[in-house]
Amino acid sequence: MKTTATPRIAIVGAGPGGLTCARILQRHGIAAAVYESDAGPAARDQGGTLDLHADNGQIALREAGLLEEFFRLARPEGQEMRQMDPAGTILHHHVPEQDERFKPEIDRGLLRELLLDSLQPGTVRWGHTLRTIDRPAEGPRRLHFTDGTTVEADLVVGADGAWSTVRRAVSRATPRHTGIGFLEAWFHDVTTRHPDIADLVGQGSAAAADGDRGLFAQRNGGDHIRVYIIQRVPADWITAGGLTPQATDGIRALLLERYRDWSPRLRRLITDNDGPYVDRPIFALPVPHTWEHDPTVTLLGDAAHLMPPLGVGVNLAMLDACELALAIARHDTLGAAVHAYEQTMLPRSTETARLLDGAADGLLSTELPDFATADGP
C-alpha cells in the first residue's frame, strides 16, 4: 500500500505521454488527473504522423491494453521509405512486407483519440494552463493555473513538452536551438488535387538532401501529405529576412532561390502546398539533462529529454509513461516509485540524447543511411 492511501497524482500535459501514464495508472486502480492547456480535444491541429516502435511505443500500448486497437487504426504501409537525390532519382526504396509491424504509422490525432477514449470520464481537465508550482510548508505541491485556480498534488508529472512549466520545479535547463529549422507545408486531397506529389511520396515517406538543404515528405491519413523543408538556419531566419510567418509568397520565393538547383518535381513540394507554411525551429535540451531527485515532481518525454525529431520522441515519451505508471503501481510510496523510475529513465534518455546530439544535421546529409535506415521527422 502507498504511504498516501489515495495519492493525488497530477499529470500536466495531455499528449501521448501524459495520456498513456494516466491510462496505465487507471488500469491498476490508481486515479490521476490530467491538466491540459488546450480548451478541448479539437482545439488545435495535432500534427502529422507517428511511427510507434515494437521495442518502446508498442510496449506502452500493450500495458495500456490498447495494442490491438492501435494495429486496427495504424497504417503499416506507411513504413514505405524512398530516398532520393536532388534530381529526383530514387537511391533507396524500402517497401514493407505485408505483415511488417515493427513501426507502423498512425496520425497523432488518431492516437490521441485512442488514448482519450480509454480514460475514465473527467480524467482530462481542459483549459488548465499551468503558471507555477510551489511546495507549501506542510507538504504537498500546489499547482497554480492561469485562470486563478489551484490544485494540491502528492506527485506532479511533467508531460508538458519542450517548454515545460513543470521542469522549472526541478531543473534550470532550457532548450537550445540546434541550428536546424523545419518549415512544414500541407497538401490536402492529394489523390485528386496533387496526384504527382502523391505518386512521388507513395504510401509512406520520401526524402532528399544535398548537404545544406533537405525535404522530407510524409503521407498522413485522410489523403493528406505533410512536407518538412529542412534547412541549416537560425531560429529567427524568417523575421531576419524581413518577412513574417504569414508571408507565404515571400517565403516561397526565398525557398525557390535556395532550392534552385533541385529538380522541378521536388520543387513542387515547396510551391504547391495548400495554405501557409508552419515554422518549426528545432530545439533540444542540453546533454545530459538530469536533476536532483524530488519525490513530489518528475518529468517524462520532451519535458525530460527534448531531442531532435529523429523518430524517437513519442516512443520514449510513451515508454517513460509506462515505466512511471508501473513503478507507482508496484512501490509502497510515491517517492520510491519516482526514484526507481528515474534510475532507469535518466540513463536511457542520456544515452539516446548523446547519440542524437547534433544529429539534426544528419537530416541534411547526402549519406544514404541517414534516411534509409533511420527514422525521419
Positions at the binding site for FAD: 51, 108, 302
Cα distances from 165 to residues 281, 296, 304, in angstroms, run 20, 15, 11
Give the whole-angstrom CA distance, residue 187 versus residue 224: 6
Assess contact for 77 and 203: CB atoms under 8 A: yes
Tell me the one-letter amino acid at 331. H
The DSSP H or E segment spanning 375 is: none
Q: What is the DSSP letter of 4?
A: S
Residue positions in the annotated binding site? 44, 51, 108, 302
Angle of the 313-330 helix axis to the 16-27 helix axis, nearest 10:
30
**Rounded-to-integer distance, Cα 175 and Cα 284, Å:** 5
Assigned C-alpha cell, 295:
519525490
Q: Cα separation of 208 and 93, whole Å?
A: 12
Residue with cell 518538412: 228
Residues marked as binding for NADPH? 44
| H helix intervals, the chain | 16-27, 57-63, 67-73, 108-118, 190-193, 195-201, 237-240, 248-258, 264-271, 302-305, 313-330, 334-356, 369-372
Tell me the C-alpha distance between 103 and 93, whole Å. Answer: 16
Residue with cell 479539437: 42
Q: For every residue of 304-372, which 3-state class applies, written as one string?
A: HHCCCCCCCHHHHHHHHHHHHHHHHHHCCCHHHHHHHHHHHHHHHHHHHHHHHCCHHHHHHCCCCHHHH
Q: What is the rounded distance in angstroms from the CA atom of residue 149 to the CA atom of residue 100?
A: 48
Residue 49 is which amino acid? T
